[in-house]
Structure 1
């Protein structure tokens, strides 16, 4: 599924439970912070910057 990153506006692919981000370790506190910023997925570049 195509998504638009809320951080930079780029279009990227999201594959749900088998998505590229499932292999990234993110602390619970960071997940909570990200959910306050947006209820959408971030692109790989923005997610790496935010964590």
Structure 2
């Protein structure tokens, strides 16, 4: 789906990931929120 709500949610999640990664870089003892999961990075894309 590519609705405005979904695109905005993805944008906000990406911003959240960037901020948490920056905090972890500044303070390695920082404990992220309990519901935080690092983004899954795909090393390769599917080719049909």
* TM-score higher than 0.5: no
Structure having greater relative contact order (Cα 8 Å, sep ≥ 6): 1
User: Where is the strand percentage greater, Structure 1 or Structure 2?
Assistant: 1
User: Bigger radius of gyration, 1 or 2?
Assistant: 2
